[in-house]
Amino acid sequence: MTSEHIWDWLQTKGKVFKVISDPERGIIEVINEKGEILIRKTNLSKRHVETIEKNFLYHLAKRLNGRQQAKSTENRDIFDPMVT
């Protein structure tokens, strides 16, 4: 059983980045529409990944496994979920 989560991160100009997080392996990746890895964080603790996921879902993302879209905020372009 995998602990990997996949998220859609909608950008302001219509682009969609894919975010893959895995708390068990301590990894978060951001992948652009071309399949290129833009950001890869490794060696994170399970707690760090879970905190980033929580903030990411709340502020920015729509989880691909059926959860409803997160609440919107006025500062969507300022928040960086990769900073803990």
pLDDT tens, 22-74?
A: 999 999 999 999 999 999 999 999 999 999 888 887 777 555 554 444 444 44
Are the C-beta atoms of residues 19 and 28 closer than 8 Å to each other?
yes
Residue 58: per-residue pLDDT: 75
pLDDT computed for residue 73 by the predictor: 45
pLDDT at 72: 45
pLDDT at 75 over 80: no
**pLDDT at 74 (0 to 100):** 46
Burial of 81 (0-12, 13-18, 19+ CB in 10 A): buried
**Residues contacting residue 78 through CB under 8 Å, at least 6 positions apart:** none
Confidence of residue 84 (pLDDT cuts 50, 70, 90): very low
Angle at 42 between CA 39 and CA 47, to 5 degrees: 110
Q: Does 83 have pLDDT greater than 70?
A: no
